Chain A
Amino acid sequence: MAIHTVYTLSKDDPEARNWVAFFHRHGHTQLSRITIERVFWLEGDVNVSRLHPLLINPLYQVGSERSQLDPAQGPVVEIAYRPAVTDPETPSILEGAHALGETGLLFARLSRRYQFTGLEESEARKLASRFLYNKIVERVREPGELVETLLPSGRPDPVTEISLRGLSDQQLQALSIERSWYAPPAQMKAIQAHELRRGRPHTDAEIEILAQSWSDHCYHTTWKSLGLLKRLSHATAQINHPLVVSSFKDNAGGMEFYDGWVITIKGETHNFPSSIAPFGGIATKHGGVIRDTLGFGKGAYPIGGTTVMGTMDPRMADDELPEGALHPQLIVTESIRATSYYVNPMGIPMMHPVYRIHPGYAKCLALGHSIGLIPARHAVKDSSQPGDIALLIGGETGRDGIHGATASSTGMTGATLEKEFAAVQIGHPITERRFTSALPVLRDAGCIRAITDLGAGGISSAAGEIGADTGVELDLDRVRLKDASLTAWEILLSESQERMLVVVPLEKLDEAREILDRYEVAHVEFGRFTDTQRLQASWHGERVVDLDMAFLWKGCPIEPTAVIEHERPLKPLLIPEPRTQAEWRKAVESVVSHYHSCDQSAAGVRFDTTVQGRTAIGPYGGRNHRMPTNLYVSAPLRGKPYGMISTLAFNPFYGEVDPAAMARLMMIEAVTKAVVAGASYKEAVLCDNFYTPRISPQTAWELSQMVDAIADFSVELGIPFISGKDSSSGTFESAGRKIDVPMTLAVMLMGRVPDVKKIVTKEFKRAGNRIVLIGPSAGDGLGGSVYADTHGQRGDRLFNPGTSSEVRAVWNAVLALHGEGRYVSGSAIAEGGLLLRLFEAAFGSGLGARIDLDSQQAARSDALLFSEFIGAMLLEVSPEVEKGLASLEIPHQTIGEILPEPQLLVCREGNTLWQQSAAELEAVWSKPFREVVE
């Protein structure tokens, strides 16, 4: 069929201008201009001029049949999606063209042509490959390339049988690696024994299903082996919290809200794909965790999300970069672009955009959370019944994401970047958005018996899990494909995004179809639940999978994991105390401008924080809406005062010093941030996300210590974990170097408050008010601190926050003060210590503060100002209220007062140690992150 082209140029192109500025900052000053031309490739019998209203707006675009770029103006690099990959915009172009009456248009593709004026061709290509496209899903179109058809085409490989009979251990292992199963020896032997027992070889599809179902990513073999999953769920069961509706069973955890509603929480990491292809990896990180919310109970609605990134320092020199790793600046900037690309169109407010660094994150941390809302009566799934229909809804199935589960369970090497390219998915938020709108309607009409998302392991994992108690029979020929060359096992394992499996009672099928059609959600009945207790699938008239559910879900051998107690080689801190005003200035500025303390709103403003009209307090607040609030509060039920509050704690430095102590501190930090805002810890739940190096006996010991610590502590505090995820694959190997991630635990809190209007925020409110520090005293809190990091040190111990009853007593005292309305601003001490909180509160209010250290215990002034004494809080009270605090039995001290002018001042024994204007600090605080991302 004929292929037409339309080239369009925009008369005004900020993107092109900003790329030039970006490349100039990267030293390519000879580049004088970038021109971006778009190309539409249109296949079919069409009158192209009738498509112009769709493709060209003559007010600012010029369209033509041939390229408008003058070759003399510099080299052109044309970038297009690979032939097997569908452009995200293709369906919209087809729909628009058909509406214009051009029904002869069969298919459309797009490409982008970048002209680099002032650069050599080789340099242009180098920049394009580093910054402008992702070779895993896109490619450079060479000039003069012939195109026969735009339609995805191909022929599938047949299903084959693979016999393991008689293979030696070595041969089994070699086969496991060659086929990218990454199954450990014991699993290969179990599959071999199963073949002998049932008397016939497995098909390739069956072994693929077993390998991915038993992967660490899906089966949590490491955690099961160490008994950690049970440890946490037992702690939660022991707490028996009256508000917990669902914990550790479903795709997310659920907590009772108000008026018959439940709120849900889930956190999910997507570290491996984000490390090799950050744009796709991060986009699908969000897509996936949002589907966990949609797949909770009979379908919750997402009302909040986060993006939490841990990378190496984006400012690192190119020659320090480990071979085979992507530059962290690229990971950070691409992640921001991807979060914006995915979450904004989903219409989900951003709660916590957080970026942290650690030299161990060669394989980055890419964490996202999702909060959901669902009527309590729909919060628990029903069991699927024989005769129920398996409905596959959403996007088409392609080759993307194949082996994602097995590849992400293994360590990452330089070679992984090349070999597992298929493990990277591409996200199309519009497809997910369609069913996000439709699912509550489907649910409330009683059409959903159960629902789950298609994530790691794709169809086989979703159908296998949801049909585990009955059996399920799948007809793979019915699955809609975006790539005709997919064979059976690829259809079963594909991790193509934006698909969900809905279990529909047969009598509700017509109604379900009608609702999905109304919302333009593609759907296909591709299976039926049975009573065979088997996972069965047919394809091209053959039964290609016939596995016993019991073997699939219980047959995986869990090998014991060796555990060896281990002491970290740590050095005590050796930091000279600042002596002069100039030294103090330097110390303060280095803390305020540290990557972890600095203004990260250059990323944050790219994410919608107020969509859905539920947001009461977003991630940024204060007078100029740029002060980090460390909070997110929304009013999920429109017109009602009830609030959902969320806080987050994540600190990679602490994990390097003492993982178990860090785990406790992360819990206390998350809870204290909520308490100081006025939210009761008795109406809150937690979500844990672990990220640890590939398991060794030493890391296994440390991991167990961490889990023990939070399990015990949660019982002591009465605050349950109800959801979480673990990844034990944080090891990067390349050119003889092995880089482990730090022992990582991010804790997110979700709680409820009766009235969002009673939440207290951080910014100062009134000059003359007193600043009171309440809770544990600074003491020895510099270990793992930002301040220590500015001296290139970690220290040999973390802050000791005291016993659980001491911690709780402080929380109770502050909640009582809040109940009486006795403080007007408040914040929790965390990264950057007291000093950073003072600066933020001043910056957010236009006021200042004077701190007097005379009354302090701490021998060193820097220890008081920069200690991260987690559990302590800073409260602003009026002078009258301050007098009344004398009777408080909790440790507290008045440390200063609020000044009318935006100045910060620290005195000790009458001498001014340091004094600086908030504006000067703002200048250094605003800069570092902006320089990375703009």
Chain B
Amino acid sequence: MSRIAILYSPGTNCHEETAAAVERAGGKAALVHLHELLLGHDKLENYGAAVFPGGFSYGDHLVAGRIFATLMVARLRDQLTAFLEAQRPVLGICNGFQVLTEAGILPARRPGVRGMAMLENQSSHFEDRKVRLLVSGEKTMWTEGLAGKLLEMPCAHAEGRAMIPESGAERPRVSFQYTNAEGKPAADYPANPNGSPNAIAGVTDDSGLVLGLMPHPERASLPAHYSQDGLRLFQNLVRWLKR
């Protein structure tokens, strides 16, 4: 089975637990520093899937994910395009999701062309919460067998409010929504921790292979955690790679 690149940069701080979750799901994780790619020591094509983990890449300078995305688009655009065209799965968690939108990988797999953004939370501060996510019926590799289920996992971010322009030609598919106590999509704070419209917590592109998710599945993946629901996503990835 091909290896799963966990792509990290200065300021990324969730790469180790993300690798641990991938391994627990039966996958083979490889920690890949962005600079190894920028310096040409390693290539994306060496991996079957890429995960952009959470954290504060480059200190969240300017805007969360902006510097990581700028470096990647400016210097790795061809590799990135080839990787996406080869139908290799991509997951962006939290800051990784922000990187994907800043880079234009979400919503429409167009590096350098932004089609959605993750804005500052309505509370204008960091929100560390335990959330319950409703998995939508959209068919995606990541949510196979999970449609309609409620998954528990933590979220921890300051910029998680999805902004999708009405006029946008290519809109993402909503795959995860924050829910209230009744298990219905939540409009109200704090069940919806950031004020995201339509309670959006996670979206995929048209192919369903590129997933951006604000909450942290890797923090709900081990027996010691309060929930192991997040493991399901990584298991789906591994199953897909093994197919």
A131: min CB distance to chain B, Å: 14
Contact between B11 and A608, CB atoms less than 8 A apart:
no
The answer to whether the Cβ of A347 comes within 8 Å of any Cβ in the partner chain is yes
Closest-by-CB residue of A relative to B95 is A345
CA distance A612 to B19 in the complex (A): 11
CA distance A850 to B75 in the complex (A): 67
Contact between A15 and B13, CB atoms less than 8 A apart:
no
Contact between A519 and B126, CB atoms less than 8 A apart:
no
Closest-by-CB residue of A relative to B117 is A59
Beyond A55-B62, A614-B224, A641-B223, 18 extra complex contacts between A and B, CB < 8 Å: A17-B124, A53-B70, A57-B63, A57-B102, A60-B117, A92-B62, A95-B67, A96-B67, A96-B71, A345-B11, A429-B56, A430-B58, A609-B154, A611-B14, A611-B54, A612-B14, A614-B17, A635-B224
CA distance A743 to B100 in the complex (A): 52
CA distance A344 to B121 in the complex (A): 16
Chain B hits for A93, CB < 8 A: 61-62
Contact between A625 and B129, CB atoms less than 8 A apart:
yes
Chain A hits for B229, CB < 8 A: none
Of B62, B75, B126, B195, which is within 8 A of A54 by CB?
B62
Closest-by-CB residue of A relative to B36 is A518
Segment 7-56 of B: residues with Cβ below 8 Å from A: 10-11, 13-14, 16-18, 20-21, 24, 33, 35, 54-56
Of A95, A345, A605, which is within 8 A of B13 by CB?
A345
The answer to whether the Cβ of A639 comes within 8 Å of any Cβ in the partner chain is yes
Contact between A430 and B74, CB atoms less than 8 A apart:
no
Closest-by-CB residue of A relative to B69 is A53
Chain A hits for B21, CB < 8 A: 613
Contact pattern, B 193-227, Cβ under 8 Å of A = 1, otherwise 0: 00100000000000000000000101101111110
Segment 109-124 of B: residues with Cβ below 8 Å from A: 112, 114-117, 119-124
A633: min CB distance to chain B, Å: 9
Contact between A605 and B128, CB atoms less than 8 A apart:
yes
Contact between B126 and A60, CB atoms less than 8 A apart:
no
Chain A hits for B226, CB < 8 A: 616-617
Contact between A756 and B56, CB atoms less than 8 A apart:
no
Chain A hits for B117, CB < 8 A: 57, 59-60
The answer to whether the Cβ of A14 comes within 8 Å of any Cβ in the partner chain is yes
Contact between B75 and A99, CB atoms less than 8 A apart:
yes
CA distance A93 to B66 in the complex (A): 10
Contact between B74 and A14, CB atoms less than 8 A apart:
no
Chain B hits for A606, CB < 8 A: 125-128
The answer to whether the Cβ of A583 comes within 8 Å of any Cβ in the partner chain is no
The answer to whether the Cβ of B139 comes within 8 Å of any Cβ in the partner chain is no
Chain B hits for A520, CB < 8 A: 10, 35
A635 and B60 in contact, given A14-B120, A95-B67, A344-B126 (Cβ under 8 angstroms) = no
The answer to whether the Cβ of B130 comes within 8 Å of any Cβ in the partner chain is yes
Of B128, B130, B154, which is within 8 A of A607 by CB?
B128
Chain B hits for A99, CB < 8 A: 70-71, 74-75
Pair count A-B, CB < 8 A: 178
Chain B hits for A705, CB < 8 A: none
Segment 148-202 of B: residues with Cβ below 8 Å from A: 154, 156, 158, 163, 165, 190, 195
The answer to whether the Cβ of B145 comes within 8 Å of any Cβ in the partner chain is no
A761: min CB distance to chain B, Å: 11
CA distance A344 to B70 in the complex (A): 23
B15: min CB distance to chain A, Å: 9
The answer to whether the Cβ of A638 comes within 8 Å of any Cβ in the partner chain is yes
B77: min CB distance to chain A, Å: 11
The 10 closest A-B pairs by CB, nearest first: A347-B13, A613-B17, A430-B59, A92-B61, A635-B224, A345-B56, A14-B124, A625-B130, A89-B61, A99-B74
Of A89, A100, A615, which is within 8 A of B62 by CB?
A89
Contact between A433 and B123, CB atoms less than 8 A apart:
no
CA distance A55 to B102 in the complex (A): 12
CA distance A13 to B10 in the complex (A): 27
The answer to whether the Cβ of A757 comes within 8 Å of any Cβ in the partner chain is yes
Chain B hits for A609, CB < 8 A: 128, 154, 156
Contact between B14 and A347, CB atoms less than 8 A apart:
yes
A346 and B13 in contact, given A99-B74, A613-B225, A641-B223 (Cβ under 8 angstroms) = yes
Of B16, B126, B158, which is within 8 A of A612 by CB?
B16
Chain B hits for A429, CB < 8 A: 56, 59
- Interface-central residue, A58, A346, A610, A641, by most chain B CB under 10 Å: A610
The answer to whether the Cβ of B73 comes within 8 Å of any Cβ in the partner chain is yes
A433 and B56 in contact, given A59-B165, A95-B67, A519-B10 (Cβ under 8 angstroms) = yes
Contact pattern, A 332-357, Cβ under 8 Å of B = 1, otherwise 0: 00000100100011110010000000
A and B contact pairs by CB, cutoff 8 A, 16 listed = A14-B124, A57-B102, A59-B117, A89-B62, A95-B71, A340-B158, A345-B55, A347-B14, A433-B13, A604-B128, A606-B128, A608-B126, A612-B17, A613-B17, A613-B225, A616-B225
A610 and B219 in contact, given A18-B123, A60-B117, A345-B11 (Cβ under 8 angstroms) = yes
Closest-by-CB residue of B relative to A636 is B224
Contact between A53 and B73, CB atoms less than 8 A apart:
yes
Contact pattern, A 743-767, Cβ under 8 Å of B = 1, otherwise 0: 0000000000000110000000000
Contact between A430 and B225, CB atoms less than 8 A apart:
no
A335: min CB distance to chain B, Å: 13
Chain B hits for A909, CB < 8 A: none
Chain B hits for A808, CB < 8 A: none
The answer to whether the Cβ of A184 comes within 8 Å of any Cβ in the partner chain is no
CA distance A53 to B123 in the complex (A): 27
- Interface-central residue, A519, A611, A756, by most chain B CB under 10 Å: A611
CA distance A610 to B195 in the complex (A): 21
Chain A hits for B129, CB < 8 A: 605, 625
- Interface-central residue, B13, B114, B115, B116, by most chain A CB under 10 Å: B13
Chain A hits for B11, CB < 8 A: 345, 430, 433-434
The answer to whether the Cβ of A12 comes within 8 Å of any Cβ in the partner chain is yes
Chain A hits for B75, CB < 8 A: 99
B45: min CB distance to chain A, Å: 21
The answer to whether the Cβ of A44 comes within 8 Å of any Cβ in the partner chain is no
Contact between A641 and B156, CB atoms less than 8 A apart:
no
Closest-by-CB residue of A relative to B20 is A638
The answer to whether the Cβ of A101 comes within 8 Å of any Cβ in the partner chain is yes
CA distance A146 to B61 in the complex (A): 27
A41: min CB distance to chain B, Å: 14
Contact pattern, A 620-647, Cβ under 8 Å of B = 1, otherwise 0: 0000010000000011001101010000
